Amino acid sequence: MKILGIWGSPRKGGNSDVLLDAFLKGAAQGGADVEKVALRELKITPCLEIYHCFKDGTCPIKDDMQPLYEKLLVADVVALASPIFFYGVSAQTKAMIDRTQAHWSKRYVLKQDFPGPERQGVLLCTGATKGKYLFVGARFTAKYFFDAINVTYAAEILVRGVDEKGAILGQPEVLARAEDLGRRLAGGEKFGPIKLKPLAV
Ligand SMILES: Cc1cc2nc3c(=O)[nH]c(=O)nc-3n(C[C@H](O)[C@H](O)[C@H](O)COP(=O)(O)O)c2cc1C
């Protein structure tokens, strides 16, 4: 069981970092082979929209996204951790997601065989405020990211009201929930699928 954690905050030791670490700690305790990818340490160019991927499902931009494409294919569980920035995921997270257009193209344009959908996706998000719609943008982005890489949107932990670095440590019950989720996914438990209600505008 391979569990891949993708962490999209620029702030080391911040809230999504702590949350993902709790999740991965549980996953490791549950026996999974765990890997954490810190997007802040990678150079990932935003999608250039040249549609090369429509031809063969690959992206010609030679940067740190290339090894991630393979990791996204072989993971049994993909956990995406991001802070909320302006009601969406962080720019680091979004750049990585946009580049998975190459995987989307393999699935939907070229109709190639693709692993999944028994694989599972988890969204872990932290935000400062407490508004009802705080996670709407991130959840929709996650839904279509998970679809592009053919993992089922299985579970999510969305944490409101955490702003200062490490504020999430004041919510030990949330961290225990993240650990438990990691442990259960490592054990092969199935969750979801999470269905989102469309929002009319
Ligand atoms: C550029 C920026 C934009 C933000 N936008 C929002 C926002 O729209 N809503 C909100 O509740 N918090 C917002 N925040 C606060 C962060 O979501 C919050 O501090 C979060 O816990 C940070 O997680 P991290 O420590 O993992 O980076 C923003 C913070 C920054 C730096």
- Give dist(CA 15, CA 179) in Å, integer: 15
Average pLDDT, the chain: 97
Q: What is the pLDDT of residue 199?
A: 80
Handedness of CA 88, 89, 92, 96 (dihedral sign): negative
Give exposure, 144-183, as e/b (b: 16+ Cβ within 10 Å).
ebbbbbbbbbbbbbbbbebeeeebbeebeebbebbbebbb
Ligand 1 pocket, residue 92 CB under 6 Å:
no
Whether omega for the bond prior to residue 10 falls within 30 degrees of 0, making it cis, is no
Atom of ligand 1 nearest to the CA of 127: 17
- State the distance from the centre of ligand 1 to the C-alpha of 6, rounded, in angstroms: 17
Look at residues 168, 127, 41, 141 and name the one whose alpha carbon lies nearest to residue 92: 41
**Section 78-90 average pLDDT:** 98
Going by C-beta distance under 8 Å and a sequence separation of 6 or more, which residues neighbour residue 55?
none
Residue 36 clears pLDDT 90, i.e. is over it? yes
Using a pLDDT cut of 90, give the percent of the chain over it: 98
Homologous superfamily of domain range 2-186: Flavodoxin domain (3.40.50.360)
**Section 154-174 average pLDDT:** 98
- Give dist(CA 105, CA 185) in Å, integer: 28
Minimum CA distance residue for ligand 1 atom 17:
127
Q: Considering the entire predicted model, what is its pTM? A: 0.98
User: Strand, coil or helix: what is 41?
Assistant: helix
**Section 82-92 average pLDDT:** 98
Residue 201 clears pLDDT 90, i.e. is over it? no
